[in-house]
């Protein structure tokens, strides 16, 4: 459902979210983005980076706003140090 903008001349915004499981550390997180209602994601050329909240592995998504990431369940790989690379 579109969210009405309180400022005249600004587009209506439509929130969207999805769950993702990190392929490196196994944690589960939600990624939330917002699109202007009239904006087609198929035409989007702008991408934004977002990171796994546990291991900081980077991903990209086509969106018109900065993605908001929320941790749903902790990592399952047994590591506790944030930021380890795949070679460690």
Tens of pLDDT, residue by residue over 5-36, are 455 565 677 788 999 999 999 999 999 998 77
Residue 31: its pLDDT value, please? 96
Q: Does 84 map to a domain?
A: no
Q: Does 63 map to a domain?
A: yes
Helix/strand/coil for 73: strand
State the DSSP string of 7-72.
Answer: STTSPPEEEEEEEEE-TTT--EEEEEEEEETT--TTT---EEEEE-TTT--EEEEE-SS--EEEEE
Q: Does 64 map to a domain?
A: yes
56-72 residue pLDDT tens: 999 998 887 899 999 99
Q: Does 2 map to a domain?
A: no
Read off φ and ψ for residue 26, nearest 5 degrees. Answer: 90, 0
Q: Does 24 map to a domain?
A: yes
Q: Does 54 map to a domain?
A: yes
Q: 33 lies in which domain range?
A: 16-73
How many domains does the structure of the chain reveal?
1
To the question of pTM greater than 0.75 for the whole model, the response is no
């Amino acid at each position: 459902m579109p969210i009405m903008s309180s400022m005249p001349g600004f587009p209506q915004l439509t929130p969207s979210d999805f769950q993702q499981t990190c392929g490196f550390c196994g944690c589960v997180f939600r990624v939330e983005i917002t699109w202007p209602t009239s904006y087609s994601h198929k035409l989007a050329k702008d991408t934004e980076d977002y990171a796994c909240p546990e291991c900081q592995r980077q991903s990209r998504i086509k969106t018109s706003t900065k993605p908001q990431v929320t941790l749903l369940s902790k990592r399952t790989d047994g590591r506790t140090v944030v930021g380890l690379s795949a070679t460690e």
